[in-house]
Amino acid sequence: MKHTSLIALTSLLALSAGAASAQTYDRVITFGDSLSDSGNLYAVTGGTQPPAPYNRRFTNDKVWVEYLIGTMNGYTTAGVPTGNVNFAFGGARTDAQANPPGTAVQLQAYQARGGTFGARDVVTMWAGANNLFQGLPVAATNPATATGVMGSLASSAAGDIASQVNTIAGAGAGTVLVLNLPDLNNTPQFKGTAAQDLAGFSSSSFNSALNTAVKTVAASRPTTNIVQVDINTAFKLIIANPSAFGLSDVTSSCVATTACVTGGASVQNNYLFWDGVHPTAAGHRLVAAVATQYLYTPTLSEGVSLFADVSYAARRNAMLGFNHRLYEGQKGVFVEVIGDQAQSERTVNLQSAPGATAAGLKTKAYDYDLTGLRFGTVFGHGEAATFGAGVTLLKGDATGYLLTAKPTLISFDAGAKWDKGPHFVTLGLGMGYEEFEDYRRQTTLAAVTIQQEKVQGWSASAQVETGWRHDMGTLSLTPVARLSWVSGHMRGFDENYTVGAVSFDGRKVSALSGALELRAQARLSDKTRLTGSLGYEDVLSGETDPLKGQLINNTALPFSREMGERPTEGVIAGVGLTTEVMGFGVTARYAGSFGKDDHKTQSALIALTRAF
C-alpha cells in the first residue's frame, strides 16, 4: 500500500519534535469484535471460523491493533494476562452474550484472570456493529417503527460500551481508545440495497449516542485519558478520495471478486473492504494510522510551537536591524530590501509504538525564510540626539515538525541615540503583528492535512546599548554592551475539524538577553566605509510557555508539552559596506547569530538613504 503503512506511521513519530519527556505507553489491551480479533475466534472454533480465504482473522492479513503495536498475546485461557493482550472476538456484541463472548464478558474474563490496568496502559474498545447487524433484519420488517427500534438498539449498545469504559477507567487505566463506527451505508453489504438508509441511520445513531455516553463517563473520570477515535470521519475521507490513500476500490467486496481473491496481497490491498463490512489489511493499516494520530496527538502537534518561536526570532532580527541603523547615524529617509532567515533544532525522546523504547532524536523546531522591505527616517536634534522610526514588512515560508505556513510580518520600531564625545547610548522599542496563512499540519494519514486559514501572533521588544568609540586614524574600534528583551506570542486557535484536529491555547516565548560586541569601522575613502562586528549574546533569563491543547470535539484530556528553554543566540557577527552613489547613501550588510543545536538567525539587506 502506498501512502499509509507502519513505515510511514513510524517515520512520522521518528521525526517528532519537542524537548519534553517522551509520550510513552507500556502495552495495549484490546476488547472488541471481529474488527479487532487477531485470531481468538479461529482458535476456539478449531480453525473453522473464519473460513478460507480469511487469514485466521476477518481480513486478509493483520488487524489494526496489530499494526499499531505488533505481536499480540491473544486470548489466554490460563495464567495472568500480561503484555499486549487481545480479548476481542469475531461476532461479539457489546453485552454479556456468552458465545462468542461479548465485550462485557471479555472484560470480566480479563479481570477474573488477574488482569489489571495501569497508568501507562492503552486499552482499546471497538464494538457495536454486531448489535446493529443483528437488529437490522428484524427492524426492517416494519418500516413504520424501524428507525425507532434501531435508535433504541444503538443507544443501548453505546451505553454498554460507556459502562465498560467506566469500569476500565475506575480500575486504573491511564488511556482508553474508543473507536466509533464507519458509516454502514457505504459498506458493500448495504450500499445499493433496500437496507442502506436504515443501516446508515443506525451507525449514525450509534456514533451520536456513543459520543454522548462517553462524554458522561469522561466527566466522572477526570484523571483518565478517554480518547474517542473518529473512524467515521476518516472512512468518509478515504471513500471520497481513494487514490490519495493508495486504494482503487472502496465500494466492492474483495472476497466477492475472484480476481481480487486470487490476485494476492498486492491486488487485495487496492480494496478498502475485504468482505461486506470488514476492511482489508490496507484498511486496517489506515485505522492504525488514525488511532496513532489520536493516541500521540501531544507529540504530533509539537510543530505548532514554531509560531511563537518565529515571532520571537523575527522581532529580534527587526530590532537589531533598526538598532544598527541608529548606531550608524545615517540621517534621512531610507528604504531597505531585507532577507531574513532563522532555524533551530530540538531534541526529543520518541516512542514509535506503545511498548517500544523511547529514543532521543533531533529535528527542526522551526525554519523560516522571509523577504521584504523596511522603510523609515532617522533625524537629528541638536548635536547629541538622533531619533528614528521604521516600518518592516516581510513575507515568506515557515516549516516545522509536520507543519508548513506562510508568514506575513508587519512591525514598527522607534529609537533614540545620545552621543557625548566617544560615548553613546541607544534605546529602542518595537512591536510586531504576525499572520501565518495557509497553515497545514500533516497527520499520520499521509493524504490528510489539517488546515487553518491563518494563525495570528504578535511580538514586542525593547533594548538599550552603550559603547565607547576609539578612533585610530582611518580605523575605529567600539566595544558595545547591549541588554535586550524580546517576546513572541502565538494567539490561541482551533484547527479546522478533521481527523485529529486540536484546539490550541496561546503561547509565549520571551527572554532577557545580554550581548557584548566589538565593532570596527574602516574608512576606505571619503565616501566609503567598511564595517564589521563580532561578539556573543546569551539569555540571562527567559520564559517559554509549554504548548497546550486539546482534541476538538473529544473527551481526551488537555495536554501540555514543555518546549524547552529559549536557545542562546551564541556567536554574533556582522559585516557591511556603505558608500555614496548619485547623492544616495548605499549600504549592504549581513548579520547573523550562531548558537548550539543548529540554532541560527541571519539577516541581509541592501539600503538606500536620502539625506534631508
Q: Residue 12 above 80 pLDDT?
A: no
pLDDT in tens, 142-162: 999 999 999 999 999 999 999
Structure confidence at residue 16 as a pLDDT band (50, 70, 90) = very low
Residues 191, 197, 199, 204, CA torsion sign: positive
Burial 452-474 (b: 16+ CB within 10 A, else e): beebbbbbbbbbebebebeeeee
Please state the domain extents for the chain: 27-181+195-228, 307-345+360-610
CA dihedral of residues 575, 576, 577, 582 (deg, nearest 10): 170
How many CA atoms lie within 13 Å of 27's alpha carbon, on the beta-carbon side? 16
Cα separation of 453 and 517, whole Å? 42
Q: Which CATH class is domain 27-181+195-228?
A: alpha beta
Same fold, 27-181+195-228 and 307-345+360-610: no
Taking Cα atoms as reference points, which of 213, 110, 212, 113 lies closest to residue 168?
110
Q: Residue 21 above 70 pLDDT?
A: no
Q: What percent of the chain has pLDDT over 70?
A: 96
Q: Residue 18 above 60 pLDDT?
A: no
What are the distances in angstroms from CA 10 to CA 13, 71, 510? 5, 16, 34
Q: Give phi and psi for 270, each to the nearest 5.
A: -85, -10
Whether domain 307-345+360-610 has CATH 2.40.128.130: the reply is: yes
Structure confidence at residue 73 as a pLDDT band (50, 70, 90) = confident
Q: Residue 611 above 70 pLDDT?
A: yes
Cα separation of 206 and 137, whole Å? 17
pLDDT in tens, 357-385: 877 777 889 999 999 999 999 999 888 99
Average pLDDT score over residue span 408-432:
97
The count of other CB atoms within 10 Å of the CB of residue 331 is: 17
How many CA atoms lie within 13 Å of 210's alpha carbon, on the beta-carbon side? 32
Q: What is the pLDDT of residue 348?
A: 66
What are the distances in angstroms from CA 226 to CA 124, 219, 421? 10, 10, 69
Instruction: Give me the residues paired with residue 587 across strands.
Output: 578, 607
**Between 190 and 352, whose confidence is greater?**
190
Q: What is the pTM of this model?
A: 0.93
Pairing of strands 121-126, 175-179: parallel
Average pLDDT score over residue span 55-69:
96
Average pLDDT score over residue span 270-277:
98
List Cβ neighbours of 262 (8 Å cut-off, separation of 6 or more): none
Q: SS3 sequence, 500-512?
A: CCEEECCEEEEEE
Average pLDDT score over residue span 255-267:
97
Cα separation of 587 and 608, whole Å? 7
Q: Residue 515 above 90 pLDDT?
A: yes
The number of residues in the chain equals 612
Q: Give phi and psi for 310, each to the nearest 5.
A: -65, -40
Average pLDDT score over residue span 342-359:
82
Q: What is the pLDDT of residue 76?
A: 64
Average pLDDT, the chain: 93
Q: Residue 191 above 80 pLDDT?
A: yes
